[in-house]
Amino acid sequence: MKLNHLNLITSEVAALAGFFTSHFGFELVAMRGKDAFAILRGADGFALNLMAPGKGEPATYPDNFHVGLFVGSPELVHAKQAELTEAGFAPGEVEDLARGGFKSTTFYCMAPGGILVEVGSSRT
């Protein structure tokens, strides 16, 4: 089984699409409505759909909800954190974590529309 797509609700469809295309290599496949629905595709074919909430509905998620993206090495985590800082985002500090026997180098960043993104890499 393969995870095919993820649908995120955001009040900032165009800005969030720009975040993922500019900094994480997604391709914008389609933008529909007045920036109300975007289809992005990752290099591996994964589809990331971004939708505006229904009229009068908030775009909210539970505490600690986030999207996790992995890069190839801890050095790339540091480079991505620096890139996002340079682009005007406010990513958190890079941390070395150990959770459930899995070690990673990780940071978190709030993306447009209030979507929390984790960037990490496994480490030995």
Per-residue model confidence (pLDDT) at position 70: 93
Characterise 59 by phi-psi region: left (phi > 0), alpha (psi -120 to 50), beta (else): beta
pLDDT per residue as tens digits for the range 70-105: 999 999 999 999 999 999 999 999 999 998 888 999
Task: List Cβ neighbours of 110 (8 Å cut-off, separation of 6 or more).
Answer: 89, 90, 116, 117
Domain final position from 55, 79, 100: 55
Last residue of a domain, one of 55, 72, 98: 55
Domain interval for residue 19: 1-55
Looking at residue 90, what is its pLDDT?
95
Looking at the structure, tell me whether residues 124 and 69 fall in a common domain: yes
Q: Which of 124, 115, 118 is nearest to 7 (CA)?
A: 115
* One domain for residues 121 and 68: yes
Pick out the chain residues at pLDDT < 70.
Answer: none
**Are 39 and 90 found together in one domain?**
no
Token pair recorded at residue 75: 């050095």
- Number of domains comprising the chain: 2
pLDDT at 1: 86
